[in-house]
Chains A and B, each alone.
Chain A
Amino acid sequence: MELNTYQQQAFEYQKPNIEKFGKRAWFWTIFYLLWILVGGYALYLQITKGHGVTGMRDNVVWGLFIVNFIFFIGISYAGAIIAGLLHLFKVSWGKPIIRLAQMMTIISVVVGPVFILLCVGRFDRLHHLFIYPRLQSPMTWDVLAILTYFVGSVLFLYIALIKDFAVYRDAGLNIPKWKQKLYKILAIGYRGAASQKRHLIISQNLLAIIIIPLSIMVSSILSWIFGMTLRPGWHSTIFGPYFVLGALYSGCGVLIVAMWVYRKMYKLENYFTDRHFTYLGYIMMVLAAGYGYFTFSEYFTSWFGSEKWDSEVINKLFNPAEYGWWTLFANVAGILLPILIVAIPRTRTPGLISIAAFIMVIALWVKRYLIIVPTLETPLLPMQDTRAEYVKYTATWPEWALTFAGIATFLLFFTLMSKFVTVVPVSGLEETRTHHEQAQDLLKKEEVQPA
């Protein structure tokens, strides 16, 4: 594989990252594995003792697990849509971050569905979904959609990786034999011939075109699991687009945070430049405004119409004794904060944008909780139940343990993947820094040398 000097430079710079699995990587890997182990024990308890070990009961039939499911799947869709759009519109500054967006897509679409499986009472009967499928059920739509989407996004990432695998194969890296062999297999004989290039470009474009509408569809179908029921707070026509936007928004936040972490860890300032943070910050700000608009529409119509159950849910959400503070946090930290941080030039720095994005991601997780739990705590018939755990949902430690195990798995995959492929794609990379930035770099070097 031939690389131009800029690409060669990028490759040389990142080579150590994929050549050796350093002490830091080992530390984090073991740390994450320990978390996963705790989660594994919680799962063991849940399987052997039944779902009684969770906080879920007959009224609140879904809890943290489904919140995590929406959260991770949302991140995945965002990664796919962002990567797809950056690719299709040939955004040159987007080249270095496409890989990260795609990694995010794959990793969260692996982690997310695990959580919906945790909601299922009978693990041993999962095959029933395929031998007795019922097409009328939104759950079946979701199974089909997620599987299709999974295949699509794996292909999308893989096709984009082929050129890089060829680079790794030919670079004579100082790596174990199995890894060398794996690169060779994954590069499927790519040599950069004209016909190979053409096929690759066509398939990449096709997949990018397919993956965008697919993500929108899958995200809407996810929302319809809730939207199709006759429940206050769920039964809303806005839910499809609301979930699409929420997914994009939170995913954009995760992408910014991931960019910041890798920039610090692998010193990738030349590739994840300040400009990337600013641009993604702008995108995040627009999405925040959109998400705020949807949230407002949703709450405002419910409140103004003040139907019995709608207003019961709204009262729960805005009552400080129930979910009032969480609603405040979700909307201030999840909508206002990112807008302010990006809008004010003085705070528009990579560090602050990343912090705002991180807090926003947490707020959006809380927001998903506020979509799921208060509605389930508001059945149409009065509960008239004296068992406290049936009236109000409180997550138990196995649920939290599994949640953290999920996050640990998410981070573990990121760690492992960044040791297998370069975080910044090498082939097809273009000089993204402006002349102004390059000149500034040059100046800095000159300033340093006399001293």
Chain B
Amino acid sequence: MKQEEINDNNSRRDFLKTAAIATVATAACGSLACSCSSKQKTVPGDKVKLLSPDGEIVEIDSNYLNHQEHMAIVSKLEARQGIAGKKFVMVVDLARCKNARKCISACQKWHYRPEETEWLTVKLLKDSDKGAPYWFPKQCFHCDNPPCVKVCPVDATFKRQDGLVLIDNERCIGCKFCMAACPYSTRVFNWNEPEQPLDIRNLVYSPETGLPAKVGTVEKCDFCPDRAREGLLPPCVEACPNGVFYFGDENEDTVTNGDETVSFSQLIKDRAAYRYMEELGTKPRVYYLPPKDRQFPVERGYENLPENIKERFKDIMEEKKS
């Protein structure tokens, strides 16, 4: 019993030490903007060289390294400027979506959102009376001519050079003008004190992580720039079982859904991509591939839904049956 306690103490001390080192390490990595791959699983027993807080180079076992998520790895100023040389873009293949809703749960989990506030939603759209309904996942479109940014009185929401539209919830005054201005109903408001775990609540805030969320401020899908800095795909892209989402860089002209990496320009040419409500002039950075030759019947996304979510699409689905 006693021995165990000592061991416990030792391992705790070890852990604290390595955590501190790991923190420094990730911070160092982050500033190199994704060239370093701290997220790759190393073989157990590998030694990693790291810079300690005292300025010494130490070698430790990689198993002790803890990947620190949601770390504010860039300054606020850098977070406003964006990742140099990038131009993020997303392509959503509507032919593949069956409303599996894995993207939503992954997004909620990553951003610590309660079940009901969805940054990413899946709508059931039907373009004309006789048209067939189809599932329509919708994130923030990160418009190039963003109506939300135009109306913000305090520059709390801003457009970065890498194409992202982010929010600084330490500056936001909560006037909700951006929510009224966004024609896509993308933004959500923290009407009450958001429920978050204590360690999340104590994080250093960065517009890139969006954590911790704050009451009385606006928030929305951010394309997970903190992950992009580490060369990771957003959780929605990773979680999708059907490869609906292609995420990538317009400058490099490549997008990937995790399984296949394709040329962005070729993809949108071949599949006749369109942007949602182009006529509004908002110039979204999200492209949709029309739901032609669909892989799943639309009912597949409806039948197994929990009752409360089924309710959302009931009118369209029942109309279809009759």
* Chain A residues with a Cβ under 8 A of chain B: 49-52, 56-59, 61-62, 119-122, 125-126, 128-129, 132-134, 136-140, 143, 225-226, 228-231, 376, 379-387
Known: A58-B188, A125-B173, A225-B177. A381 touches B150 (CB 8 A): no
A75 CB to closest chain B CB (Å) equals: 23
Contact A231 B192 (CB under 8 A): no
Residue of A nearest to B314 (CB): A386
A113 to chain B, nearest CB (A): 13
A51 and B183 contact, CB distance less than 8 A? no
Bound: A424/B61 CA distance, A: 88
Q: Give complex CA distance A119, B176 in Å.
A: 8
Listed by A's residue number, 20 A-B pairs whose Cβ atoms lie within 8 Å are: A50-B215, A51-B174, A51-B191, A52-B191, A52-B192, A56-B176, A57-B189, A119-B175, A121-B218, A125-B172, A132-B156, A133-B154, A136-B151, A139-B153, A225-B177, A228-B150, A230-B181, A379-B183, A379-B185, A382-B123
Determine which of B121, B152, B280 lies in contact with A230 in the assembled complex, contact meaning CB atoms within 8 Å: B280
Q: Does residue B171 face the partner (Cβ distance < 8 Å to A)?
A: yes
Tell me if B311 is interfacial: C-beta within 8 Å of chain A: yes
Q: How far is the CA of A129 from the CA of B280 in the complex (A)?
A: 28
Is the beta-carbon distance between A51 and B184 smaller than 8 angstroms? no
Range of interface residues on B (Cβ < 8 Å):
35 or more
Cβ contact within 8 Å between A386 and B154: no
Residue in B116, B176, B177, B184 whose CB lies within 8 Å of A380? B184
B217 → A minimal CB distance (Å): 6
B22 at the interface (CB under 8 A from A): no
**Closest chain B CB from A105 CB (angstroms):** 25
Q: Is B155 at the interface (CB under 8 A from chain A)?
A: yes
Other A-B pairs, 5, CB within 8 Å; known A50-B190, A125-B174: A129-B153, A132-B171, A138-B151, A229-B151, A229-B181
Q: Is B179 an interface residue (CB 8 A)?
A: yes
Instruction: Tell me whether A385 and B155 are in contact in the complex, defined as CB-CB below 8 angstroms, given that A122-B174, A137-B150, A231-B180 are known contacts.
Output: no
Q: How far is the CA of A385 from the CA of B193 in the complex (A)?
A: 22
CB of B147 closer than 8 Å to a CB of A: yes
Which single member of A61, A122, A134, A230 contacts B153 (CB below 8 Å)? A134
Residues of A within 8 A of B121 (CB): 384
Secondary structure at the A interface, as helix, strand, loop or mixed, is loop
Cβ-closest chain B residue relative to A136 = B150
A52: chain B residues at CB < 8 Å are 191-192
Q: Are B184 and A134 in contact (CB under 8 A)?
A: no
Q: Would you call A134 and B152 a contact (CB within 8 A)?
A: yes
Minimum distance in angstroms from B318 CB to a CB of chain A: 14
| Contact between chains at A51 and B171 (CB < 8 Å) | no
A384 contacts which chain B residues (CB < 8 A)? 121, 123-124, 312-313
A381, B138: Cβ atoms under 8 Å? yes
Q: Is the CB of B123 within 8 A of A381?
A: yes
Known contacts A137-B150, A228-B151, A387-B116; A381 and B311 CB within 8 A of each other: no
Contact A121 B176 (CB under 8 A): yes
Q: A50-B190, A137-B152, A381-B123 are in contact. Are A229 and B311 (CB under 8 A)?
A: no
A229:B192 contact, CB within 8 angstroms: no
Considering the chains assembled together, what is the distance between the CA atoms of A58 and B119 in angstroms? 12
Across-interface contacts of B277 in A (CB, < 8 A): 380
Enumerate chain B residues within 8 angstroms of A50, measured Cβ to Cβ. 190-193, 215-216
B308 within 8 A of partner (CB) = yes
List chain A residues, Cβ under 8 A from B173.
Answer: 120-122, 125-126, 128-129
B125 within 8 A of A: yes
**Residues on the B chain within 8 Å of A137, using CB:** 150-153, 177
Closest Cβ of chain B to A311, distance in Å, is 15
In the complex, are the beta carbons of A62 and B176 less than 8 A apart?
yes
Q: Which 7 A-B pairs have the closest CB atoms?
A: A121-B174, A121-B216, A139-B153, A52-B192, A61-B176, A52-B191, A137-B153
- In the bound complex, residues from chain A placing their C-beta under 8 Å from that of B176 are 56, 61-62, 119, 121
B285 at the interface (CB under 8 A from A): no
Contact partner of B311 among A126, A138, A386, CB < 8 A? A386
Q: Which residues of B contact A49 (CB under 8 A)?
A: 192
Contact A229 B189 (CB under 8 A): no
State in angstroms the CA–CA spacing of A160 and B192 once bound together: 47
Complex CA gap A126/B180 in Å reads 19
What residues of chain B lie closer than 8 Å to A138, measured between beta carbons? 151, 177
B187 within 8 A of A: yes
Cα A59 to Cα B182 with chains together (Å): 11
A205 to B183 alpha-carbon distance, docked (Å) = 45
Would A386 and B308 count as touching, CB distance under 8 A? yes
Distance, CA A59 to CA B189, complexed state (A): 10
Residues of A within 8 A of B218 (CB): 121
> By CB atoms of chain A within 10 A, which of B125, B180, B187, B216 has the most?
B180
CA distance A376 to B176 in the complex (A): 12
Docked CA distance A129–B175 (Å): 11
In the complex the two chains form, what is the Cα distance from A132 to B173 in whole Å?
11
Cα(A384)–Cα(B314), bound, Å: 9
Q: How far is the CA of A68 from the CA of B218 in the complex (A)?
A: 23
Q: How far is the CB of A171 from chain B (nearest CB, A)?
A: 48
